[in-house]
Chains A and B, each alone.
Chain A
Amino acid sequence: MNDNDQQEQFKELREKAEFYILNQKYSEAVKILKQAIATDDEDPHAHYLYGLALEGSNEQEEAKKHFRRVLELDPEHTEARAHLDRLIGE
């Protein structure tokens, strides 16, 4: 698979994960995002979605790791910051 194909596949997985999150199927989104992140670990949006899906599945500790990763990649990500702050305070 060339780079373009891989990128396309990654985008597709991310979109699928968004769909599952917006339909409150958090554990399905978790499965998809695990795959996506195995392909590309440098995408802040994928980590943000992963954090949301894990938080939605009540996996708070794992969710924190991904929100932290978002902030490493994009320190200005206000949504990830808000989720992390809330989870740490809980």
Chain B
Amino acid sequence: MPRIFAVIGLGTFGSAVALELARRGYEVFACDRDPDKIEELGSELANAVELDATDEKSLRDAGLDEVDTALVSFGDSIADSLLVTMLLKGLGVKEVVVKVTDERHARLVKRIGADRVIFPERDMAIRLVENLLSPHIFEFIELSEEYSVVEIAAPKKMIGRKLLDLHLRKRFGVNVIAIRSKVPVVNKKGLPDIEEKVNIAPGGEDEIREGDTLVILGRDQDIERAKKL
């Protein structure tokens, strides 16, 4: 059975999540207590309902006890976010994901049973800083305190060389898990253009070309060394 989702709180973040899930073909219950938001999204979301999610009966009546994963996305009220998280867990929702605004909020929702806590503003801020400080680092994902995945523009020294000749694993202990290439094409109008192609799990014989972005997995300190190539 396909997973059923609920998004509670249809601010900018919540509505973007709900719309994206719907676009990908999932059933989404989208709830907010503001009728204007429901009206705004009603044409794009089949199950958008006006609802006070802090009321257990309303949640049950709306069928929220049948969803697999619920996102609680309240912008301003920590108290409401805690209460709704608790109610959803009480209704038996398998996975409750809560958007938090600060560390204290995160600690509290974890304590009352949230399965996952997300901190979009902080995560985006970290990514932005990484990108501002190193414009050639396009993406940065921290996997643990020690390990990360980063996307870096292939250094000039690597261009034209095969992956196996670079000995990145041996020299730096990092793995190239994908290569994103900018491949030239001629479009329908006959104009030159560039398309992005992704080579997942590239082989040793694959050659690094101009414009390539390497997706590297490794320990932070090893990635730092490899970046200096």
Contacts and interface: CB of A to CB of B under 8 A. Distances in A.
Give the interface size bracket for A toward B: 20 to 34
Contact of A79 (B138, B153, B187, B210): B187
B192 A24 contact: no
B182 A56 contact: yes
A56 B211 contact: yes
A27 B7 CA distance: 47
Closest 9 CB pairs of A and B: A58-B153, A56-B211, A22-B184, A26-B210, A56-B182, A21-B192, A18-B192, A24-B184, A21-B184
Interface of A: 18, 21-27, 48-49, 52, 55-58, 60-61, 79, 83, 90
Nearest to A52: B194
Contacts of B187: 79
Contacts of B183: 24
Given A58-B136, A58-B211, A22 B192 contact: yes
A79 B193 contact: yes
Chain A interface helix/strand/loop/mixed: helix
A52 B183 CA distance: 11
Give the interface size bracket for B toward A: 10 to 19
Nearest to A25: B210
Chain B interface helix/strand/loop/mixed: strand
Given A55-B182, A60-B135, A24 B211 contact: yes
B213 interface: yes
A22 B187 CA distance: 11
A55 B213 CA distance: 12
Nearest to A83: B194
Contacts of A90: 138
Contacts of B191: 48, 79
A24 to B, nearest CB: 5
Contacts of B184: 21-24, 56
A55 B135 contact: no
